[in-house]
Amino acid sequence: MTGDSFISLIFGLQTWGLVLAIICLNEPRLGRFIKLTAARIYKVYANYSPIEYLSDDCLTPVSLRCLKRVAKKTLVLDMDETLITAWIQRQGDHRHSPPNVPHDFKFGISTAICKGDVYVYKRPHVDRFLNNVSRWYNLVVFTCGTEDYASPILDFLDKGRGILDKRFYRQHTIDVGGLRAKYISLCSPDMANILLLDNSSIACSFNAGNCIPISSYRIGQKDEALLELLPFLDALRFTRDVRSVLGKCTRFDCLTTLLESVAK
């Protein structure tokens, strides 16, 4: 491509961009359509990854014998900003519009606290993640959300497979100095064989030695955090005590700091 051709191409793209911008300003509905179309294309890109993980357990006879010698473990999953992120359009609120990203699920909610529509956005690769870990672990969901809010979302993620049937909601949390504590010992008393996956450092603080922190999912961003955890979770199921590994991975001192600030 010659220099003149390249300049002509850039000029042409800028011209089309200017024309589209003018159309969007004068026709809001067309502008929203263009934004949503672009968002759909981006969503395909955000959910694509060259990383693949085996869908079947191709274990050697030695690995199978090792796995039989340890108890099957329980993986406790947080919901909001770990598996999904939700956006709520409150009834009568016309000042705010849903994000310009196609939602995966929508439902209405009507409680004493909130009335409106809930737009649910799945974290990229969450379906693949759940397919794998449901074969390796007993799954439990523990969310600080209310049952009216969380149940439809978990039903949507479960897709009738029965892998997310065991659920704990806000009413199962415990108030500790004004903080909603999720104690995973409520899900299983066997602390050697239970672990929590959560984006909240506070939730992890209450379960130090049994937790895996994960970054919060923001709507529309490219994210491979769940995919990257699969090899680690695959290996962790072979341990006799998850605390022997997780206790060395992370330290959470924020709980002490928070409780001291509350006490003051």
pLDDT tens per residue across span 130-180: 999 999 999 999 999 999 999 999 999 999 999 999 999 999 999 888 888
Exposed e or buried b for every residue in 9-47, given b needs 16+ CB within 10 A?
A: eeeeeeeeeeeeeeebeeeeeebeeeeeeeeeebbeebb
Is a pLDDT exceeding 70 seen at residue 202? yes
Give the pLDDT score at 159.
93
pLDDT attached to residue 113:
75
Residues 6+ apart with CB under 8 A from 11: none
Rounded percentage of the chain residues whose pLDDT exceeds 70: 73
Question: Is residue 253 among the annotated active site residues?
Answer: no
What are 106-135's pLDDT values in tens digits? 999 887 777 899 999 999 999 999 999 999
Instruction: Compute the mean pLDDT over every residue in the chain, rounded to the nearest whole number.
Output: 83
* CA–CA distances in Å: residue 230 to residues 29, 38, 49, 130, 172: 42, 30, 14, 10, 28
Model confidence pLDDT, tens digit, residues 208-240: 899 999 999 999 888 999 999 999 999 999 999
- Out of 4, 56, 57, 78, pick the active-site residue: 78
Read off the pLDDT of each residue in 179-200 and give the average, rounded to a whole number. 94
Cα angle, residue 123 at apex, residues 208 and 142 outer, rounded to 5°: 40
Choose the catalytic residue: 4, 56, 57, 80.
80
Task: Give catalytic status of residue 4 as yes or no.
Answer: no
Q: Helices (H) and strands (E) in the chain — how many of each?
A: 9, 10
User: What is residue 187's predicted lDDT score, i.e. its pLDDT?
Assistant: 95
Residue with tokens 């929203």: 32
What does the alpha-carbon distance between residue 86 and residue 95 come to, in Å, rounded to a whole number?
18
Q: pTM, whole model, 2 decimals? A: 0.78
Give percent of the chain with pLDDT exceeding 90.
53
Report the alpha-carbon distance of residue 127 to residue 31 in Å, rounded. 31
Q: Domain 72-83+124-263 is classified in which CATH homologous superfamily?
A: HAD superfamily/HAD-like (3.40.50.1000)
Whole-angstrom distance, CA of residue 169 vs CA of residue 180: 11
CA distance 197 to 200: 9
Tokens of 110: 């009507």
